[in-house]
Amino acid sequence: MKNFTISFLGRDCPGVVAAVSRTIGESGCNITQLSQTILSGEFAAIYIVQAPDSLDPEALRRALAVALEAEHMDMSVLVRPATDSAWGEGEVCQPFVVTADGPDHPGEIAAMSRVFARHNVNIESLKAVLGEGGSNHALFVFEVMVPDRVDLGRLRRELIKEGGMHNLRVGVQHRDIFEAMHRIGSV
Amino acid sequence: MLSEREVISTLNMLRTEHLDVRTVTLGVSLFDCVSHDIELFIANVKDKILRHAAQLVRVCDEVGDKYGIPVVNKRISVSPIAVVAAPFGPAGMVRVCRALDDCAKEAGVDFLGGFSALVEKGFANGDRALIEALPEALTTTDRICSSINVASSRSGINMDAVALMGEQILKVAEASADRGGIGCAKLVVFANIPQDVPFAAGAYLGVGEPDVVINVGVSGPGVVKKAIDRALGAGVNAKGQPLTLLDIAEVIKRTAYKVTRVGEMIGTEVAHRLNLPFGVADLSLAPTPAVGDSVGEIFQSVGLSSIGAPGTTAVLAMLNDAVKKGGAFASSSVGGLSGAFIPVSEDSSIEAAATSGLLSLEKLEAMTSVCSVGLDMIAIPGDTSATTIAGIIADEMAIGMINHKTTAVRIIPVPGKGVGEEVSFGGLLGKAAIIPVPRGDASDFIRLGGRIPAPIHSLKN
């Protein structure tokens, strides 16, 4: 057996997951992990599947494309062999939440994420909340993994400086504080 | 992944609702420092306190930075000095107090508590020496706080101590007359003092406590107020039904849970980094003079024209109880005072109500029967007699004794000033208008002395 990564992107409508999952099953594959989201009516999903050795990625992609087209679903499909290792394996990291908010302008996410890249900090989740604090207000929430070897004070200073250049107020907090306040964890 | 609500809610609490950890307090037992030689005793005390406190401020700041939650105050509490320095007379007690002040300054903490005596059943020599030393000790030091426990539900009220404290409070005020009697802001008379209070001015480390321990005081009146405002703004509860006080109590409870979780998390990490045990989270609503960080404003949010209006005691009872319930679920190590504080000068809304006459000393006394502390930071005329002050203390101690709760008196007779005049203590201690004390004369009652016996329900064994 081997692992494939399959991604889907297209217009959301009822039946997308059913069509995709049925075809994956009919191709002899087993879904081992998946994540999906909907944004402004657009559907995006990423599946990790275990596939028979005889199945090649292009054959699986064709089967999925045909199935989606038969259901009149406007969806792009990409299949590729899954990578064996994830970023950060062997690296001791701490989860932090970085928030940046202020007037919405192009280039803000690029500016903030450049700082993360420079410090080898991986962004695991990024959300933009628009309009919460006024019509042109944007709040960006970066959930990042910060390697222990990174100088947290320096990272914080650079993020605040970069955010300040875009009139963004930046906060850097360990993720545990959000968990502690809002969730009842296991004992 | 966190939800948008979780992130936005936390940011709002921090930025506009004054969420913080009000104090991380390092408790240090001084029992192993005792000596009949005062030089040796002071050297031992300094060595032990500074050995353990050296990293306190730095670690608190680092942990605060990590979680993005400021630790506003770092403090130290020590064993009751009247016990550990019992061989010394009043002059020796003053020297010890100054040595503690030096320690507080060197460690970078804003207050050190524990210049204290426990006299609910009677005086020992050290107790008398410490109480006699109070005027000089509290006015020649900057950061030392004193607490005198004169009553308990088990032992009754030591009325000799009550009478003595009436006199000493006046002497402390007189000794600090040039600063509005500020020495009295660092002196609290207690009934049923808890052994693990992290908040000044009542902080001390009880005899049953660990050798060295970290206790945390969380706060958050602004967070509670905003949560109530949001709920009332919505007008309906989670089920879409019209909002009632039951829903508001639930909002307070849940908010207290969140605030306490923050305090416990930061406290346990500070303790871990200092390689010390974590003691308690004291989940009191402690205001500051800043607008939006007020316990008094909560009363307006719930629909009273002001704190002091009819209904005030009922609201305070609900608030105090809901805070305890939320906090108790958030932490298995709840201790200290844990409830709502109503320090008049330290809370802009309470101060305004007292100044305008909406909140009298009598009403404040009634409120203390349902909240966690007592008559706190109240400025009274400087010419108030010692027996009147003692009578006020006795009444407050009786509330604590009968109701099995902590009560306290931190009252400031402002030298040279009368009703309606204002006194400013600066910083967290705030400002207050001087309010009248109850009329009538308690002097013959106070002069009787002796002890008011413990109530019948003290016989629990």
Query: Which CATH number fits the domain that encloses residue B380?
Result: 3.20.70.20
Distance (Å, rounded) from C-alpha B407 to C-alpha B444?
24
* Residue where the block lists tokens 């009560």: B407
B21 by DSSP, 3-state: which? Answer: strand
Q: Are residues B381 and B235 in the same domain?
A: yes
Q: Are residues B52 and B124 in the same domain?
A: yes
A residues 85-124 lying closer than 8 A (beta carbon) to B: 97, 99, 101
CB atoms within 10 A of CB B246: 9
Model confidence at A186: pLDDT above 80: no
Question: How close B302 gets to chain A, by Cα (Å)?
Answer: 24
Q: Are residues B307 and B399 in the same domain?
A: yes
Q: Are residues B185 and B274 in the same domain?
A: no
Tens of pLDDT, residue by residue over B134-159, are 999 999 999 999 999 999 999 999 99
Chain A contact present for B2, CB below 8 A: yes
Tens of pLDDT, residue by residue over B26-76, are 999 999 999 999 999 999 999 999 999 999 999 999 999 999 999 999 999
Instruction: Please report whether residue B18 resides in a domain.
Output: no
Q: Are residues B40 and B147 in the same domain?
A: yes
Task: List chain B residues with CB under 8 Å of A129.
Answer: 4, 8
Q: What's the one-letter identity of residue B213?
A: V
Q: B144-152 and B187-191: which strand pairing?
A: parallel
Helix axes A57-70 and A16-26, enclosed angle (nearest 10):
140
**Whole-complex ipTM:** 0.81
**Would you call the peptide bond into B107 cis, given omega within 30 degrees of 0 as the criterion?**
no
Helix/strand/coil (H/E/C) assignment for every residue in chain A = CEEEEEEEEEECCCCHHHHHHHHHHHCCCEEEEEEEEEECCEEEEEEEEEECCCCCHHHHHHHHHHHHHHCCCCEEEEEEECCCCCCCCCCCEEEEEEEEEEECCCCHHHHHHHHHHHCCCEEEEEEEEECCCCCCEEEEEEEEEEECCCCHHHHHHHHHHHHHHCCCEEEEEECHHHHHHHCCCCC
Domains, chain A: 2-81 (3.30.70.260), 93-182 (3.30.70.260)
pLDDT of residue A187: 64
Task: Select from B261, B264, B331 the residue whose CB has the most chain A CBs within 10 Å, as the one to mutate to test that interface.
Answer: B261
A residues 133-152 lying closer than 8 A (beta carbon) to B: 139, 141, 143, 152
Q: Are residues B114 and B243 in the same domain?
A: no
Tens of pLDDT, residue by residue over B363-412, are 999 999 998 789 999 999 999 999 999 999 999 999 999 999 999 999 99
DSSP structure class, residue B25: E
The token pair at B85 is 């320095």
Exposure on the CB side of residue B191, measured as CA atoms within 13 A: 35
Q: Are residues B140 and B236 in the same domain?
A: no
Model confidence at B347: pLDDT above 80: yes
How many domains, chain B? 2
- pTM, full prediction: 0.90
Q: B117-118 and B407-414: which strand pairing?
A: unpaired
Tens of pLDDT, residue by residue over B234-290, are 888 888 899 999 999 999 999 999 999 999 999 999 999 999 999 999 988 888 888
Instruction: Please report whether residue B14 resides in a domain.
Output: no
Distance (Å, rounded) from C-alpha B434 to C-alpha A121?
57
Task: List chain A residues with CB under 8 Å of B11.
Answer: 99, 101, 139, 171
With a CB cutoff of 8 Å and minimum separation 6, the contacts of B446 are B159, B162, B163, B166, B387, B390, B391, B394
Q: Are residues B355 and B444 in the same domain?
A: yes
Domain that includes residue B269, residue range: 218-456
Distance (Å, rounded) from C-alpha A174 to C-alpha B15?
17
CB contact under 8 A, B69 and A177: yes
Q: Are residues B176 and B242 in the same domain?
A: no
